[in-house]
Every structure is written in structure tokens, then in C-alpha cells.
Amino acid sequence: MKKLLETASKVSEQAEVYSIRTDSSALEMRNGTPTDLSASIQSGFAIRLLKDGRIGTAYTKNLLDREELVENALDSLKGNVKAGFSFPASVDIPGSQAPDDSIAEMGYHDLHKHSERVLDHLKGKIEGQIDVHSGRGITDLEIINTSGLDVSSKTSFMYTFTSLLFPNTETSVHKIFLSRKPADFPKGELDNLMNMYNAGLPEVEISTGRMKVVFMPDAMYTLIWRLSAAASGKSFYNKVSPLQNRRGEQIVSEKFSLYGDPTDPDDVSQTYFDDEGVPTGKNTIIDKGVFKNIILNLDYAEKLNEKPAGNGFRGGMWGGETISLLPAPSLHCCRISPGSISLEEMIASIDKGVIILGVLGAHSGNILNGDFSVGLNPGYYVENGEIRGRVKDGMAAGNAYEILMNIEHVENTLHDSITGGKYPAILINNVNVAAKD
């Protein structure tokens, strides 16, 4: 890396080298039978050059020719992408938690054991298909630049994803369990998943109308996507955000707070620096309903005359090859602050409403404006505090800002979601729910 940085520094005013290597493996099982095994080692190098107020970029998955990689970055300067920022200098950054060595030693036999324990606990207790996916990985990351920055981290992770499919459908209830070290899916959470599955076995039809709706953690990205897009420095710089000139104003219910905290020791993605080498910390976007801060990377912080807050990350909600992506404003380790009521109490308080466990079509509608229209996948109908069954062909629609003004309760527990982040369930009043004619 240092030789690559030296080569790049000779032809630019500033240079940065980013390196990542992820060693991972995964096992998929269906009703106890392995259906897929995979193993991969993904690695690569990316460089960014600053020259004459412009930025040039290039990456490779196999560093065979340093000069060629630098030439590719120089060629990209012809795109005239302006960059008024500088790469950060060296700062004192705390060391992240050391990776668990036993993660690196895990093989398919170990993943199989973790999956089998899930199957053994659920076997004979549900009617449908049981899918269990388990995986593990180690990620090494390093960033150096010509301003003297030299930071690195090594993290470990393991996951177990359990999905219970309703008979003769591809619809399921599911839950993911994440850990920094080898660990079994908690039996209490499996029991909760099983109970939720059994409650949805009857299929019911509902009437179109406005009613109470519970957004469960795996459906929450429908709203988070819209809020984070509006709070992005890119949207502010382009003057297209509905939150323009609204910092310090209440935009949603005081029961709602949204923040990112990459330093959270309980998160498998914990990091004390972002993908530009800027120190991270808790960054509150919405505090008790009040819009507080913009999500910024180095580029948009400079353009908006703001201070960088460690929100420049390669990747996003839908993943992708990290090495091929550029650092963009991103709310890493996203959280919604918990409330004071259990999910059971929340459901018991509903006279008539729907629980949204998952969605289809979260990309539909004007995301930046907050509009959404999603299919319930699945959705449960609740009447007089009891789940009556799984909704047949239901949809929910509205505007994120409008419905988040009508929050009744926020759950007192945070849950890992399949799209990243940790969220509670949220009960919202007066949401438009539609049934298929």
C-alpha cells in the first residue's frame, strides 16, 4: 500500500489508498437439508487522487501493476469532478474490539451445528418450510493518505437467518441474529418467531380504510430510506431536500429519534473511523422529532461548509462490492431510540389495525419527498387487541413525515433488521391501508 501511495503522490497533490479484504463462508439449509455452500475471499485496492481541484478514482481487485492503477485514476480526472476537500490528517482513533479468533476457524461443520440447533428447536412445531442460513466472516480494512493518515481495523461477524414459510407460499416471517463471535440463535427469539408464524396461519380479508399500523423492524427501512435520503448532504447541496432550511424544526412526532452510532460495541459493524478515515461517533439526525443534523461525507461537508462527522462510507442499504463504490453520505449503524412499551402491550392496545412484518416495493413512490406505497409481505390483521390472521393482498401507503407525526407507541426493545440497523416496532395511527378488490 505504501508503494502505491508513493506512486500516486508523485502525480497528484494529495492521494489516498483504501484496502479491504473479507474472508467469508455461508451455509443454506431447507428443512434440515443443505442446499447451498459458498466461500469467498474478496479483496481490493482503491485510490483517490486530488489534483487541480478535481478528484480522480480507480480500483482493482488484483494489484498487479501500480502504475496502471494510478494512470487509470489520472484518466478519470478528465471527468472534471470537482473536489474542494482535503484528505484528513492523522488523529488518535481508539482501537475497535479485537475480532474473535474462533470465527476465522469456523468451518461448514460449525455452521451446520448452529443451523441444526435452530431446526431442532422448531421441528414439529410449525406446519411450513424452515429455512436457516448461517455464515461467518473476517474483514480487514486499511486506509492511508498523503496527509499522514494510517488507520486499520479487523472485525469478525457471524449471522444466523431463520425464515418460516407459510404453506404453499413464498411468504415468510423471519429474523436475523448477529454476533461478533460464535453463538446460537437465542431460543426465546425463536419462540417469539414461531408464535408470530402460528398467529399468521389463518388468511383473512380486510376492508380498505385508515387504521392503526405497526411497522416492525424489518419493514422500518421503508421509512428510514426516505428520511436518510432527505437528510443526505447530497440532497441539501442540490437543494432538493424537503428538509432544506428546517434544521431545528419539529418534522415528526417527539416520540421519534433517529441516529447513527458506529462506535456501538454491540454492533458487528462497529468502527471508530469511516471509509475516509474520519473519526466516527454518535450522530443524531432527528432528536425527539426535531431535525438536527445532515448526513455528510468529506465532499459534501466541504460543499456545505459543515464539519465532517464520520458518515462517509462505501456501500449502502443494498450492499454491493465495497471496493467498487465511493464514500457517500451514509448513516452507518442506524438506530431508532426505543420507547417504553412491549410489543405485546402495543398489539393489545389496537382496536383495529395491521402489523407490517415485511414489505414489497419499498422503492415505489417519491422517496425524497417521503411518499411510499408498499405491499404487505406479510401483514397481520389485528382486532380488539388480538391477531386474527395474515392479510390477503394488502397494501399500505402514505407519506413518512405525515404518518410519523401520528406515532402512538414505540417499542422498548431494539432488534437487528435484515437491512442493517437496530430498530423497535412503532405503532402509528391513521395510516391508509388498502385491500385488493
Which tens digit of pLDDT belongs to each residue from 132-147? 999 999 999 999 999 9
* 378 and 204 Cβ atoms separated by less than 8 Å: no
Residue 349 has pLDDT above 80, yes or no: yes
Grid look-up 466516527 returns 280
Grid look-up 446460537 returns 184
Average pLDDT over residues 142-169: 94
Nearest to 168 by CA among 127, 123, 124: 127
379-383 vs 371-376, strand pairing mode: unpaired
Rounded-to-integer distance, Cα 425 and Cα 86, Å: 41
Residue 418 has pLDDT above 70, yes or no: yes
Residues 249 and 369 in one domain: yes
Domain boundary among 176, 197, 218: 197
Q: Which three cell numbers stand for residue 151?
A: 488507520
Which tens digit of pLDDT belongs to each residue from 281-300? 999 999 999 999 999 999 99
For 225, how many CA atoms within 13 A lie in the half-sphere containing its CB? 19
Q: What is the pLDDT of residue 336?
A: 98
Residue 94 has pLDDT above 90, yes or no: no
Number of domains in the chain: 2
Q: 3-state SS of the chain: helix, strand, coil percent to 5?
A: 20, 40, 40
User: What is the pTM for the complete model shown?
Assistant: 0.94
Residues 273 and 369 in one domain: yes
Q: How far is CA 347 from CA 14, 385, 411, 431, 432, in A?
A: 56, 6, 10, 16, 18
Residues 64 and 167 in one domain: yes
Nearest to 81 by CA among 231, 247, 303, 385: 303
Residues 134 and 184 in one domain: yes
* 373 and 397 Cβ atoms separated by less than 8 Å: yes
Q: What is the pLDDT of residue 99?
A: 75
Q: Is the dihedral of CA 105, 109, 113, 114 positive or negative?
A: positive
Nearest to 301 by CA among 310, 292, 288: 310
Q: Is the dihedral of CA 16, 421, 194, 206 positive or negative?
A: negative
- Mapped onto helix, strand or coil, the DSSP state of residue 258 is strand
Residues 314 and 437 in one domain: yes
* 399 and 158 Cβ atoms separated by less than 8 Å: no
Grid look-up 443451523 returns 115
- Mapped onto helix, strand or coil, the DSSP state of residue 57 is strand
Q: What is the pLDDT of residue 4?
A: 95
Residues 45 and 166 in one domain: yes
Q: Residue 46: CB partners within 8 Å, gap ≥ 6?
A: 17, 18, 19, 57, 58, 59, 314, 323, 324
Q: Which three cell numbers stand for residue 140?
A: 480487514
Residues 233 and 315 in one domain: yes
Q: What is the pLDDT of residue 92?
A: 83
Residues 121 and 74 in one domain: yes
DSSP of 138-191: EEEEEEEETTS-EEEEEEEEEEEEEEEEPTTSS-EEEEEEEESS--PPPHHHHH
Q: What is the pLDDT of residue 317?
A: 58
Domain boundary among 197, 212, 236: 197
Residue 339 has pLDDT above 70, yes or no: yes
Grid look-up 470537482 returns 82
Q: What is the mean pLDDT of the chain?
A: 94
b/e map 189-225, b = 16+ CB within 10 Å: ebebbbebbebbeeeeebeeeebbbbbbbbbbbbbbb
Rounded-to-integer distance, Cα 259 and Cα 333, Å: 8
Residues 146 and 243 in one domain: no
CATH number of the domain encompassing residue 30: 3.30.2290.10
Q: What is the pLDDT of residue 316?
A: 63
Residue 364 pLDDT grade (very low, low, confident, very high; cuts 50, 70, 90) = confident
Q: Can you give the residue range of the structural domain that contains 18?
A: 2-197
Residues 209 and 293 in one domain: yes
Q: What is the pLDDT of residue 320?
A: 66
Q: What is the pLDDT of residue 437?
A: 62
Rounded-to-integer distance, Cα 184 and Cα 113, Å: 9
Average pLDDT over residues 37-42: 93
Residues 256 and 179 in one domain: no
Give 153's strand partners: 141
* 43 and 64 Cβ atoms separated by less than 8 Å: no
Q: What is the pLDDT of residue 399?
A: 97
Domain boundary among 172, 197, 222: 197
Average pLDDT over residues 255-259: 98
Residues 169 and 229 in one domain: no
Q: What is the pLDDT of residue 420?
A: 86
Average pLDDT over residues 220-234: 96
Rounded-to-integer distance, Cα 363 and Cα 123, Å: 36
Nearest to 147 by CA among 202, 199, 89: 89
Q: Which three cell numbers stand for residue 265?
A: 460495541
